[in-house]
Chains A and B, each alone.
Chain A
Amino acid sequence: MPQEFAQSSSTQHTQQEQTEETAVHTTTAANVDDDVLDAVLDDIESTLETNAEEYVSSFVQKGGE
């Protein structure tokens, strides 16, 4: 019995560690993604200051294919 207990305790411990690791890993990955997205949004800030209507309406093409 003590052996079994020890085993189950150690298994539990390992599982807990794994869960923690996974959680940390996921959080880190999500943070990295958010950081990258934030950086991209900073990069395109100047584009957001230009005249969207002019940019869009100036692109009229004819024909093709």
Chain B
Amino acid sequence: MPQLRDSGNSGPGSSIQQSAQFEGFARIFGVETEYGVSVTGAKKPVDAGQVAMTMFRPIVSRARSTNTYLTNGSRLYLDVGSHPEYATAEARSPLDALAQDLAGERIMIRLAHQAQEQLRTAGYGDALRVHVFKNNADSAGHSFGCHENYLVRRFVSLEQVEHELLPFLITRQLYTGAGRVTESGFEITQRADYLDEAVSSATTRSRPMVNTRDEPHADPEEFRRLHVIIGDSNRSQWATWMKLAVTHLVLCVIEEAARLGVPSGFEAFNLADPGEANRAVSRDLTCQHTQLQLADTGNAAATMSALDIQRGYFTLVERFFHDHRDAMLAAMPSHHADSPWDHGVEQALSEWRRVLDVLEAGHVTDLADRVDWIAKWRLFNALRARKGELSHARLEQLDMDYHDIANGTLYDSLLRRNAILQLVDDEAATQALHEPPSNTRAVLRGHFVQAALDAGAQFSCDWTRLTLTVPQHREAVILDPFNATPNADYDRLLQALQ
């Protein structure tokens, strides 16, 4: 059980050279998004694999590989099964992570449109369209993911993650779910039907909700990387921002409790059967009728609704913020003071409170400008009112169209008509194509990639290492994700490129 080798840690560890950010509540956020690919309207047979390879042709000619790092510090690659994948650079705030994720969408759109042009010219016909889906399921029931990464202090145990974080992750789907048309009706999430184990090290054979693979991409003595698999891929910018911001707040409480060796209060929400609860939450569009069975922890109320569990988390987090305000605000830097979304802590609390108030009042559609599943559901209902009953295939098509970033119409129309919130404008998203977050090591990686490309050098990267192979061999290790300052090795690396 190598995946559990660190699970015995509880209580603060002792590290000789402690990272400056080990104390406090600073966080590194990252989002990995797998995209689905399909093609319609072709005159002669062509499959998704060919389309994906055509999309990645410009990448292969630049990097001699389908796996590369970009000048904004992010990673772009072609995953098993012809899934284009984009992993954002390390970000210190939900807004920065969102901007990086939107940059990833733009890269995919550009690659898709280029591939579409090439295939049309290559005799597949002018009606050919390439579709790139930012969703989590295809028509045959294959599921793929959007994984959130949170750097968490090592003294948080996997038991805490399972018992104190998982109930939050399962019930937050009320406002982060992307919605899906299934054989048995409309559901809140894309993923609930495909996830089984609660916490595990595997992802492809069995699908856990939180992955514990021990690859912190940071000092393993101090940090672990929490790899959250349960979430949906969101089109709504608000939903991507919100899931990162609120999960961060919950993690702050869990970390402080682990640091002090006291209960977080969240253990009261430990669920008897997380997989079953996840599916039940996904199917209850009222958000409050279904009662979830709690684990036997001596709690008098043996069941709670998803909404009550969220309210419970919110109340404890709000109280915690009251007591730790300064430290929590200091831990999340803000640099666009005019945008409320840059204040990841206070804005998240206020949005969270509003969402729960609205859901408790039963006014679900009031959240259609924020929550993906509600935006979709309202649109389907309006369409039924205009056209009468729609076929299952038509509903499935519209569901998929909402996630089609290359040729979809639904989401683009909602955005253009201000029917869904835009937190990052076009200018900022375009900027994030070339600019890494300035306050993490991503800025070192991004500048290195830019310098190496400018010099025509051969290079490779991973999250903690930058390697130059031609014209000379040089390497720099960038282990601390919070550190944006060049070290001596990094300086030598860049000198070799001048």
Contacts and interface: CB of A to CB of B under 8 A. Distances in A.
A59 B131 contact: yes
B48 A61 contact: yes
B414 A40 contact: yes
Contacts, number: 119
Contacts of A62: 80-82, 142
A60 B417 contact: no
Interface string B125-140: 0000001010000111
B139 A64 contact: no
Contacts of A6: none
A47 B382 contact: no
Contact of A47 (B36, B145, B147, B401): B401
Contacts of B398: 44, 47
B221 to A, nearest CB: 28
**Which residue, of A37, A43, A53, A64, has the highest number of chain B Cβ atoms within 10 A?**
A64
A56 B391 CA distance: 12
A17 B39 CA distance: 58
B400 A56 contact: yes
B354 interface: no
Given A41-B383, A59-B400, A65 B203 contact: yes
The prevalent SS among residues of B at the interface is mixed
The range of chain B's interface size is 35 or more
A36 B378 CA distance: 12
B378 A37 contact: yes
Contacts of B37: 61
A60 B409 contact: no
B393 interface: yes
B79 interface: yes
A65 B82 contact: no
Interface of A: 36-41, 43-44, 46-48, 50, 52-65
